[in-house]
A and B are shown apart, each in its own frame.
Chain A
């Protein structure tokens, strides 16, 4: 690292009242010594308004993905590691039994084990190995789906990296955010990771077949989910035994149907 230059770089100059640039302006304002929030600035420095989301690039790619995915229902499935995302998707593909065609993009830090499992279950699957990156970004998904045939595909599932914090901010171009927890993780998970539950369209509580053994307090968990995500559909299920999976599959069929009719209606309006 190169040495720090003059000490004034970090020191704060005395604040003097100066004109404040209007919020939201993009033009630079010369010779303003006080930032819009009143922080003392360095003498000679000027303020440049930017007002852009850090997600602007990702959101642009996500919008392009959404357009490319318009023929399919797209899910972004998030959970902690080991909640059972891959097991649920294996079960989903097997129990749908070709009723809906499913393809899967799966992100992990390392290995293509999950893609192999999902492929064996009957779904074309592409593994994204993120290396050290703790979440999927829209661009990674765009590259991965190049290897899939989206034509006539009913459902595209994006299985995110197992992590309840980092994936939250990245729009991948999905229709539905599906957040999963399992009964071994504690009933207060939605309170501990509010953002990822708040943005969920559906919340899945997995491994209910062992709920009793691990002393899972169902009422407390449902209460936490409803408090944080009052608009989300909640499914209690077991990917292992198949209990409760029927309702989940019905939900996918219904959402797939709704999207197809919305796209058809938009096409009719446009013609």
Chain B
């Protein structure tokens, strides 16, 4: 349940950004999470349900965009999307395994919707 720690960090960043903008309430929080970030959506929702109580985001929606994992093939000098959930990055053009993950670890607070 590291999702609880992530949610606490998310709420902290969100409240700071909302306050800096002069808002009183946060109506939506939008996250971007990489396919290999190790986040369980249900655990994230569960943690958010508990942690948002008493915060500016008490009634906010949580919206999550999941980003596909993308690796870089040094041989073909091109990026490719991983076609599996196992983190196996093998270039579809030349069959070379890649250790160079370019996207998929994201745990990003993208934007908020706020109200006065």
Contact = CB atoms under 8 A, between A and B. Distances in A.
Interface of A: 1-2, 4-5, 9-10, 21, 28, 35-37, 39, 41-42, 44-58, 133-135, 137, 165-170, 190-192, 194-198, 226-232
A169 B34 CA distance: 11
A194 B86 contact: yes
B59 interface: yes
Interface of B: 1-2, 5-6, 9-10, 12-14, 17-18, 21, 23, 27-28, 30-31, 36-38, 53, 58-59, 61, 63, 65, 85-90, 97-99, 101, 105-116
A231 to B, nearest CB: 3
Nearest to A29: B111
Contact of A44 (B6, B18, B87, B115): B115
A51 B110 contact: yes
Contact of B17 (A37, A50, A53): A50
The 5 closest A-B pairs by CB, nearest first: A194-B87, A231-B99, A166-B2, A230-B97, A191-B86
A249 B105 CA distance: 31
B114 A45 contact: yes
Given A45-B113, A52-B13, 19 more contacts: A10-B61, A28-B21, A35-B113, A37-B30, A47-B114, A48-B23, A49-B110, A51-B110, A52-B109, A58-B9, A135-B2, A166-B1, A190-B86, A191-B86, A191-B88, A195-B36, A195-B105, A228-B88, A229-B99
A191 B2 CA distance: 20
A228 B86 contact: yes
A218 to B, nearest CB: 19
Contacts of B30: 35, 37, 39
**Majority-rule SS of B interface residues:** mixed
A37 B65 contact: yes
Given A134-B2, A198-B101, A228-B86, A47 B13 contact: no
A255 B62 CA distance: 43
B87 A195 contact: yes
Contacts of B17: 48, 50, 52
Contacts of B97: 226-227, 230
Nearest to A56: B13
B101 A35 contact: no
Contacts of B105: 169, 195
A21 to B, nearest CB: 8
A46 B28 CA distance: 10
Contact of B99 (A133, A137, A192, A230): A230
Contacts of B115: 42, 44-46
B108 to A, nearest CB: 6
Nearest to A3: B59
Nearest to A226: B97
A47 B2 contact: no
B11 to A, nearest CB: 10
A2 B58 contact: yes
B109 A51 contact: yes
B113 A50 contact: no
B87 A197 contact: yes
21 contacts: A1-B53, A2-B53, A9-B27, A35-B28, A37-B65, A41-B27, A46-B113, A46-B114, A48-B21, A49-B110, A51-B108, A52-B13, A52-B109, A54-B31, A57-B9, A133-B5, A135-B2, A137-B5, A167-B2, A169-B105, A195-B37
A169 B104 CA distance: 12
